[in-house]
Amino acid sequence: MVRTFVALELSGEIREQLKEAQQVLRGCSARLTFVDPALIHITAKFLGEVDDKTLVQVQDVLKKIAFTPFPVHAGLVTVNNPKRPHTVWCAMDDGGNGERLLGLIEAALTPLGFPRESRKFTPHATVARVKDSDPSLFTVLDQLKGRDYGTCMVTGMKLKKSTLTPRGPVYEDLLEVKW
């Protein structure tokens, strides 16, 4: 069994800008676990544990998905839920393209037994996970308002293997689909 997800990669420039945002976030008293900037991405679809036979089928159907490259703009760094924050993320403006792409991904994967996502797709890149919140987190987030983290073109998608370790996840590309 392999833990997998479909990812949209961000540019090195955006990752560097988000690394700077992480430095600002380190100034708060909340207990945060930071995502390695090299691993920051947009998750299009989390598949979970997949067996080897199904993994081959997943790769076959993903290869057939055609899409047009589209721009994403890295906007506001905020939390997923202000009342009970679990994640600090950077909201992404993709003009609705991520949601349209997810529709194609789900149409391809549903026949293989993967359930459709029940929540509306919110394009974002996780910057940190909140282990213990603190009011100072919101003070620091206010300092990040109005910052620009850049724009890049999404020119494909990747199927990634995720191995969880005590030092954080290790990602391995299993498939890259370019458009």
pLDDT tens digits, one per residue of 103-153: 999 999 999 999 999 999 999 999 999 999 999 999 999 999 999 999 999
Q: For 9-31, write each residue's pLDDT tens digit.
A: 999 999 999 999 999 999 999 99
Structure tokens at 48: 């979970």
Query: What stretches of 89-178 show up as alpha helix (H) in DSSP?
Result: 97-109, 136-144
41 given a catalytic annotation: yes
From the candidates 15, 124, 158, 160, which is the catalytic residue?
A: 124
| In contact, 21 and 147? CB cutoff 8 Å | yes
| In contact, 126 and 87? CB cutoff 8 Å | yes
124 given a catalytic annotation: yes
CB atoms within 10 A of CB 141: 20
From the candidates 9, 17, 32, 41, which is the catalytic residue?
A: 41
Structure tokens at 40: 């920051």
What pLDDT is attached to residue 167? Answer: 83
Domains of the chain with bracketed CATH: 2-178 (3.90.1140.10)
Structure tokens at 23: 């430095």
Alpha-carbon distance 92 to 123, whole Å?
A: 5
